[in-house]
Amino acid sequence: MLFLASSALLFAVVIGHRIIVTARERRQESFFQTWRQTIIDNLFQMPETLSAVAAEDTISFMLLWNNLQDTLQGEPKEQLNVLARALEIDKRAVRLLGSRSMSLRLLAISTLGHLKHHASWRQLEKDVWSRSMTLAIHALHALSRIDANRAVEMIVSFLIQTEDWPEYRIANILYEMGPSSFSKALGEAVLTVQPEKQVRLLNMMRYADRAVALPLARQLLQNSSSEDVLAACLHLLELFGDSRELAVVKRMLKHNSPVVRIRAVSALGQMAGEEDIKDLEECLRDQTWWVRYRAALAIAGLPGINRERIERMRNAQADRFAVDILSYVLSQQGG
Amino acid sequence: MKFSRSFLGYSKSQVDEELYNLMVKLGDEKKSLIEEYNEAVREHNRLLTQHNALRSTLESARATASLMRRYDQDHRDKILQGIQSAAKAKVESVEADRDAIIAEIEQKVAEIDRYTDLLKQELSTIAREIGALAGSINSHHHISEQIQATDLEIEQYRELASSQEPFTAFTPEVAAQLMPIAMIEPGSATPHSMELPLSTTHFSITEGVSTQSSVTQLAPQQIDAAPSPVTILDEPTITSSTITRPLVLVAENDRDTGALLSSLVEREGFDPILVADGYALNNMVKNMEPPALIVVNTLLPYMDINHFIKEVRQSARWCKVPIMVLTAEHSKQSIIHALEAGANDSMEKPFNPREFAARVKGLTRRGEGVVCS
């Protein structure tokens, strides 16, 4: 009897929950259909009269509004902010910051970031050092949108002090901020930390200014003994370097570590000319497959190198591994 | 008889002693032989016992082995039987499932085919309607041109009429030019309508003209309001304004972004057609006339964007349509691949709407895509 009663109760709870969720989804869908075009029209001209957003539709509005903010750039973003302030969404977002629901807090943080709500700075700063990495990253992102210059210091110290930050999320933030905001501060930070942390910061330097990243990479290539740091620096040379870095890169082709040699040969492929083919041919005989493969790809990508020339090169090779890898690359190119 | 005391030199006692010793010796030997014999017999018995024991062990081992073989065989047979019957049951159940799944798939395929046919019919109906309305517009334009051509004659007639001078009948050429105007239903009023006092005594017009009708001069922009000799649909799905506007095909799966792009395209004077996935996009390409521009998201579901672009460039009908790709990845590689495949332009998200609008205008102004493959 008890079993039946509890099953009936559970069933009723499930059905009731389903009804509530379905009703909520329908309401949200109806809201989206109504307000989507209104918000888009607002990008071009603020309407003379604006109907208020009901309290229960606040979340739906924020979702729609944030999605459009993430899609747009430039002046229209400010138009959206004007609309949101007119509808008092900023005040509602501040109230949601104190919500116990993580998803609502994240939505509020994202909204306040787009709104450039300076008054929330302190609260967002606290969230950066919360135990939840998701909350921290969202708060950092919001701070970077509110005031990029002021947020740089916080971002750099966050990167130094925490271990488990996701690279792609931080890369997204830095990409949005633009290289001029953070390059100098991040470049200085790279030189102050231990080699294990240096690698991750160097990976973020890919989004930095070339004028800061390149000298930093050169300096570390001279001084560092960590193979991961050397590999990260060589990657920066691959992205930003030119033929002036050839000497350094060629030196690294003879490094003990295969990781360093792989990066070196990739970098050489980006900056080499026909006169550097001999060095690349040497790499075709390397004991590590990836080095040979990158060297073959680099040769195939050199200007003026066509299929026949690669085939002649292959036929002239005495080393069977070199022959093999050139055949592989030729087959990748179709044939 | 007395033995001599000496027998071959031996005395009797010596012989007796010798015999005695011999007898003792023989006795000892006999004893030892008997002992040996007994020993041998005991050994024999022992070995026989061992043999018997081993034999019985062997027989019992044989019996056990045969029992085990029989058991093993039975057991194996049982297990095999069990496995076979389980496998058979499994196979039967899988076959039943397979048949059910095949039936379901066939049903779904039939539904999809039906839906596709319906969609095709609808699209061809729409295309026919577009063609019909385009024809109607063309004929309206033709009428408009003819009417404009007769403006001068009407003006001339007005002057003539107001001068109250008798005038000769319209020449047949003028009458023929006036015919389209006369075909318009009497009484259809427009802001530009005008009453011409026609008098039968003053002129005659060849066939088909009512002398009492009011001739309506239509300004070109009023053409749409006039009935036309072309069949008009009861409920046209595309308004006349959209027929005159070129189409832009927008392929974007995010609804908000899709609505935004459609609005932006509409503001530039185009009619957007929005699709949300690769299937719908492919259907559009197969069934509709080439649009003025295609805007496509590189991450559209069910779509390999580079493959799609190459196919468009290889199509005889669509090869000249400009293509703009929208990418959310911060990677130049995807843009490079799309441009290499044949796209004309690219934009990264987030994008500036003004820049997007300018690019749309630029691409459609050029009017041509790349050289067809």
Say how far apart CA A6 and CA A12 lie, in whole Å: 10
Mean per-residue pLDDT, B357-373:
74
Tell me which chain B residue has its CA closest to the CA of residue A175: B330
pLDDT value for B212: 37
Q: Helix B255-267 to helix B353-366 angle, to the nearest 10 degrees?
A: 60
Q: Report CA torsion sign: A122, A123, A124, A125.
A: positive
Interface contact B228, partner A, CB < 8 A: no
Residues of chain A contacting residue B256, judged by C-beta atoms under 8 Å apart: 36, 64, 67-68, 71
Q: Which of A67, A76, A171 sits opposite B256 (nearest CB)?
A: A67
Say how far apart CA A162 and CA A142 lie, in whole Å: 18
Long-range pairs, B200-203, Cβ under 8 A, ≥24? B202/B166, B202/B167, B202/B169, B203/B167, B203/B168, B203/B169, B203/B170
Residue B356 tokens, joined: 């997007």
Count of CB pairs separated by less than 8 Å, A with B? 46
Strands B10-11 and B247-251, by their bridges, are: unpaired
Residue B72 pLDDT more than 70? Answer: yes
**B124 and B287 in contact (C-beta within 8 Å)?**
yes
Interface contact A43, partner B, CB < 8 A: yes
Residue B210 pLDDT more than 60? Answer: no
Say how far apart CA B272 and CA B249 lie, in whole Å: 6
Say how far apart CA A226 and CA A199 lie, in whole Å: 9
Specify the DSSP class assigned to residue A74: S
Rama region for B273: left / alpha / beta (φ>0; ψ in -120 to 50; rest) = beta
Tell me which chain A residue has its CA closest to the CA of residue B348: A71
**B263 and B293 in contact (C-beta within 8 Å)?**
no
pLDDT value for B229: 35
Give, in order, the Cα–Cα distances in Å from A27 to each of A16, A32, A67, A103: 17, 9, 18, 19
Q: Cis ω on the peptide bond leading into residue B350 (within 30° of 0)?
A: yes
Q: Which of A64, A73, A75 sits opposite B256 (nearest CB)?
A: A64
Residues of chain A scoring pLDDT < 70 = 334-335
Interface contact B255, partner A, CB < 8 A: yes
Q: 10 Å Cβ neighbour count for A173?
A: 21
Residue B239 pLDDT more than 50? Answer: no
For A48-82, the pLDDT digits (tens) are: 777 889 998 999 999 999 999 999 988 899 999 99
Give, in order, the Cα–Cα distances in Å from B183 to each of B137, B154, B216: 17, 16, 10
Interface contact B331, partner A, CB < 8 A: no
Name the average pLDDT for chain B. 73
Residue A214 tokens, joined: 């390149």
ipTM of the complex: 0.80
Inspect the interface and report whether the beta carbons of B256 and A76 lie closer than 8 Å.
Answer: no
Residues of chain B contacting residue A76, judged by C-beta atoms under 8 Å apart: 352-353
Mutate to test the interface with A, among B256, B266, B336, B352 (most CBs of A within 10 A): B256
pLDDT value for B151: 56
Mean per-residue pLDDT, B161-175:
46
For B96-111, the pLDDT digits (tens) are: 888 888 888 888 888 8
Rg (CA), chain B: 59
Residues of chain A contacting residue B350, judged by C-beta atoms under 8 Å apart: 70-73
Inspect the interface and report whether the beta carbons of A74 and B349 lie closer than 8 Å.
Answer: no
pLDDT value for B228: 35
For B144-163, the pLDDT digits (tens) are: 555 554 555 566 656 655 55
pLDDT value for A304: 84
pLDDT value for B136: 63
pTM as predicted: 0.61
Tell me which chain B residue has its CA closest to the CA of residue A176: B350
Interface contact A70, partner B, CB < 8 A: yes
Give me the half-sphere count of Cα atoms (radius 13 Å) on the Cβ side of residue A92.
20
**A207 and A236 in contact (C-beta within 8 Å)?**
no
Lowest mean pLDDT among A70-74, A312-316, B293-297, B363-367: B363-367
Higher pLDDT residue, B238 or A138?
A: A138
Inspect the interface and report whether the beta carbons of A71 and B259 lie closer than 8 Å.
Answer: no
pLDDT value for B143: 55
Rama region for A241: left / alpha / beta (φ>0; ψ in -120 to 50; rest) = beta
Q: Which of B257, B351, B353 sits opposite A43 (nearest CB)?
A: B353
For B324-336, the pLDDT digits (tens) are: 999 886 677 888 8
Specify the DSSP class assigned to residue A302: S
Question: Cα distance from A41 to chain B (closest Cα, Å)?
Answer: 8
pLDDT value for B140: 56
pLDDT category of residue B189 using cuts at 50, 70 and 90: very low
**A53 and A16 in contact (C-beta within 8 Å)?**
no
Question: Cα distance from A40 to chain B (closest Cα, Å)?
Answer: 6
Residues of chain B contacting residue A41, judged by C-beta atoms under 8 Å apart: 263
pLDDT value for B219: 37
